Structure 1
Amino acid sequence: MAKLGDYEFPEIGLTESVELTRRIYDKLGGEVRRDALAIVLGMSSAGGAFGARASALRIWGLATGRSSIELTPAGVQVSSPTSLEEEAQVMRRLAASVPLFNELHGRIGDSSVDQSVLAAMLQEITGVEMNEVVRRVAMIERIFEGIRGYLNASVDLQVEKNSMSRIGTNIENLPEGWMEFRYDDGALRMRETAANLDMLIATLESRRDRLSG
């Protein structure tokens, strides 16, 4: 577990943590002893690399427990979503589950900032010495950038079930400035913004990784 002041943050990104969560769900039944999971991953249960992954599952809200790791309801939901819309929604909730990243997002929004500005913000938020911030800022920047598409995504998101039979008949009903993604049992609609496109791309990449795995 990594901390800046009173703020803990995951050392492993959300996408990688969700991939591990899905392995636990698909291959291990949703619950596994810590030492057994380490063996599955080819790591030492006492090692820092494994500890970082286990802590990230907890911080992202994907799993609980120490000697035994059990998926949370959110961990189960993101491992077996019933639709693309449900997957996008739960990923957005998970992305918003880390207070430090929420503080950063509140200050940055969808703007671009360089690492020196980010470091200054982190010092202001956490109150720690700048040398400690500098030691952590590259990791925080990498993980934060990985979830910004979800944090920036508009709340204007709709789902229409069983729409495939109506392809070509309701395009005129799509509001101006909105986009629609159709899949086998419905259609995902959202405002056409850069943030929503980022969220959709990230969600599709996650689904692709799951299918290829």
Structure 2
Amino acid sequence: MNVKLSIILILSLLNILPIAAQQVKFGVEAGANLSHYLASQKHTAEQTGGMKAGFQVGATVDYEFKKHWTLSSGLTLLQNRSTMKFSPYMVTHFPKTDTKINNLILPLKIGYNFHITERFCLMPSIGLYAAYGFSAGNSSLEIVQPDGEGARTETHQWNPMKGYSYPIEGSPNNAHALLTPFRHWEYGGTAGLKAIIAEHYTVSFNYMVGIKQVHDLLGLRNSNFQLNIGYRF
């Protein structure tokens, strides 16, 4: 009896797997993005110089249910950049601070596949993402150093994932101004629209906005617009 049941289960799986394979679509995509940080504390952080361009590349997976509802995920390497003025203290110490951070993005989105024609589909989706940020190398950092009755500006290099510390000239007890590191882990919401052409070619637009702050002292959250082209196998 157990042998017969096993044979039935195996035959059932063999029948189901080709159907599931047809409903699961793997793909690759790459493109450019525009990013900046949303600042909840205007007196400590302010966007300057407009949004900055970055890039992303990754793999996607889409599962379509019988009634055209979809579940989408994947893994993307995304580099975001920004230029901001940081004022975490009584005196503005960082008038122009560049940041450049690499992120691994893991989204999970639900959507619906509108079959406009046999060769053209539109798939809007919405969901959540988790991200891990890591170093993309050094960025430039301007520091205002007090100098008697005036002040001078110096340009240094810093790694946003490691933070930065420097001594304040003329201060008692060798005080330091500290710019704390950016957080590695964060999460947020995402929404997008994907066009599928001739079953294989894709053009997609996505927006991601952070829920978890990437920097508590400055009150920063990620905000990122992405445009991708891709191929589905």
Larger Rg: 2
Same-fold call, TM > 0.5? Answer: no
TM-score (norm 1): 0.21
TM-score (norm 2): 0.20
Task: Give the structure with the higher percent helix.
Answer: 1
